[in-house]
Amino acid sequence: MKIKYWVLLSRAPFLSVVILPFVLGTLLAQRLTGKFNPAIFFLGLSGAILIQLSAHYSGEVYDLKEDRLAGALGKSQFSGGSQVLVDNLIPGGKVKALIYAVIALALAIGAILQFYFKTGGSTLLLGISGMICALFYSKPPLRWVSRGLGEILIAYSFGLLAVNTAFYIQVSRFDISALFISLPIAFSVANIILINEYPHYRADKEAGKENLLVRIGKEKGAFLYTLLVVCAGAAFCLALTKSLPMESALFYFPVLITAVILAYLMLRGAYENRLLLERMCAMTILVNLGTCFSCILGLLISKA
């Protein structure tokens, strides 16, 4: 039974937001340079997953007050934590120990990549930047989420960092093409965090968790959501002028239509409908995953 609670605590389905961008960066490196080392890929992906898990565990420990309020006001399946610590199903001390264990393991993987596989002098720095974002997203004293910086750091971690790190460790250099292709991923993943703050807006406000939505309010949040949709679409078009194959546009078109519909619903205040909001949260995740898949499928089926 305890294994079930640890699985719930890890929130495994959400790991897809780092797995797909990492695969994308790796495929792009292979397309542009012909290089692909499976050991480097699997080690790098494992490190990225461990870093994301540290963020999940840290959020469970340090967002306990607002998660408890969220549970009392009505739990959402996309935010408010797993409720495992709220229900005292696992001791908080064990989760804190696990946070540092996964961080230590991720650091070890980074060291192996940099010094054994010679993936480049920036390998550990890239990993450490992700660790700082993950560990202190919820953890004091930095607690990025309460400083209104959560969306920015999520966009960096699961967009820019994931794609560009995967590319870098394969070829030991950065490339402007990877940067451009990571931008639509970054904008779309920021919207996941933004819309997931709506279901527990009241709980976060009462708990003093001053995330971006609490700071700007729901109406301005809807405008920001729409702006991010526009930015994601524009960034995707820009990436098509670089190394992203035109075939990707065919897969991205229905994703973009979905994103536009969601933006329209946000502007119309649909976030006040609890049931509809839950579906919109799910669709926003699918827009992000669909954006990644569009790039991946384009790279796979196009001719180099």
3-state class of 209 per DSSP? coil
Residue 86: per-residue pLDDT: 76
C-alpha distances in angstroms, 174 versus 9, 122, 126, 225? 35, 10, 12, 30
Average pLDDT for residues 28-49, to the nearest whole number? Answer: 97
Q: In the predicted model, what is the mean pLDDT of residues 159-186?
A: 97
Q: According to the model, what pLDDT value does residue 184 have?
A: 98
Quick: pLDDT tens for 92-145: 888 899 999 999 999 999 999 999 999 999 999 999 999 999 989 888 888 888
* Cα gap 179→163, rounded to integer Å: 8
* pLDDT top residue among 78 and 188: 188
**pLDDT of 167:** 98
pLDDT over 80 at 173, yes or no: yes
The more confident residue out of 88 and 130 is: 130
The predicted structure's pLDDT at residue 79 = 63
Model pLDDT, residue 70: 67
Rounded CA gap, 91 and 88, in Å? 6
Tokens of 90: 């696992």
The residues spanned by each domain of the chain are 2-301
Average pLDDT estimate for 64-79:
69
Question: What is the fold, at CATH topology level, of the domain defined by 2-301?
Answer: Farnesyl Diphosphate Synthase (1.10.600)
